[in-house]
Amino acid sequence: PNMPQSRQRDVYLIWKCVNLALYNRTDEICKPKKFKPSALYYIPPSKLEFGAKYVFTLEVHSDRYLRCGKECQDVKTPKVALLSVSVAEESEKNPYEISIICVENCGEKVVTNNILYLKARIKGLTEEDLVWLFNKGGETPQPTNDIREKDVPDFMLIIKEDSLEPGTNYTITLEIRTLNHLNSFEKYSFDTEINNYEGTCVVDPDSGTQGLTVFNIVCTYDPQSIFVYEFYDKNLN
């Protein structure tokens, strides 16, 4: 790792861990994972077991030294570092009171061809980092960057139209990643409607000011179906 980056192609990291409370069983997050030297190893707080003690192992490998013969026989690879981490009990006080409030598209099932507007209400927050994640089914949570509206405050999440799959269960996770690593999180789960919509619409212009802008909306659709359009202000708290 001390070499220039251009000469680190054969260097890789392996992170693994042991949950001391599981004895003979292996925790899912503790299975060995291989990374490039520049990669970050991130574990969602929801994957950690309350009250558990983990011992994390970082192995730095360089296969270069396995091929260079006698001149490298004194070089040890991999090099290993250990870190012990204790997870707080579930009964211990959470530093924040977090709730996720649905503002738009809050029916029994979420309609995927409309925006989903969620807002976080947090007591005790100062200058911490809010992170919105999402996953469908039991998949690993991932950032919402590709499905959310841009240029809205961090405490808001507006998911764009047609970004979610119809007939699917989703979970939105809001994380507060603090500098002291006492992460807090809250979840919001929902099912999306199975859409049977037919037709398309073109809106010109695609944005404007309510009460001032004249929108021309041209749609092709089944005249027997219900036609609904709505305005929203993405900067409204």
Q: Above 60 in pLDDT, residue 236?
A: no
Number of separate domains in the chain = 2
| The pair of three-digit structure tokens given for residue 156, joined into one six-digit string | 């808001």
Buried b (16+ CB within 10 A) or exposed e, 32-67: eeeeeeeeeeebbeeebeeebebebbbbebbebbee
Q: Give this prediction's pTM.
A: 0.46
CA–CA separation, 168 vs 152, rounded Å? 26
Domain for residue 200, yes or no? Answer: no
- The string of pLDDT tens digits covering residues 113-172 is 888 999 888 776 654 578 899 999 888 899 999 999 988 888 889 999 989 998 999 999
Domain for residue 225, yes or no? Answer: no
Tell me, what CATH number does 137's domain have?
Answer: 2.60.40.10
Q: Above 60 in pLDDT, residue 93?
A: no
Domain for residue 236, yes or no? Answer: no
- The HSE-up count of residue 219 (CA atoms within 13 Å, CB side) is 14
Verify that 102 and 59 share a domain, yes or no.
Answer: no
Verify that 31 and 116 share a domain, yes or no.
Answer: no
Verify that 67 and 116 share a domain, yes or no.
Answer: no
Domain for residue 24, yes or no? Answer: yes
Q: What range defines the domain where residue 22 resides? A: 11-86
Domain for residue 74, yes or no? Answer: yes
| The pair of three-digit structure tokens given for residue 19, joined into one six-digit string | 């949950």
Domain for residue 33, yes or no? Answer: yes
Verify that 54 and 122 share a domain, yes or no.
Answer: no
Verify that 49 and 114 share a domain, yes or no.
Answer: no
Verify that 167 and 82 share a domain, yes or no.
Answer: no
Q: Which of 47, 66, 86 is the last residue of a domain?
A: 86
Query: Residue 8's pLDDT band (boundaries 50, 70, 90)?
Result: low
CA–CA separation, 158 vs 115, rounded Å? 6
Average pLDDT score over residue span 3-30 = 77
Got the DSSP string for the chain?
--S-GGG-TTEEEEEEEEETTTTTS--GGGS-EEE-TT------GGGSPTT-EEEEEEEEEEGGGGSSGGGGTT--SSEEEEEEEEPPPTTSPPS-EEEEEEEES-SSSB-TTS-EEEEEEEES--S-EEEEEEEETTPPPEE-TTTBPSSS-TTEEEEPTT-S-TT-EEEEEEEEE-TTS--EEEEEEEEB------EEEEEESSS--TTTPPPEEEEEE-TTS--------TT--
The pLDDT of residue 144 is 94
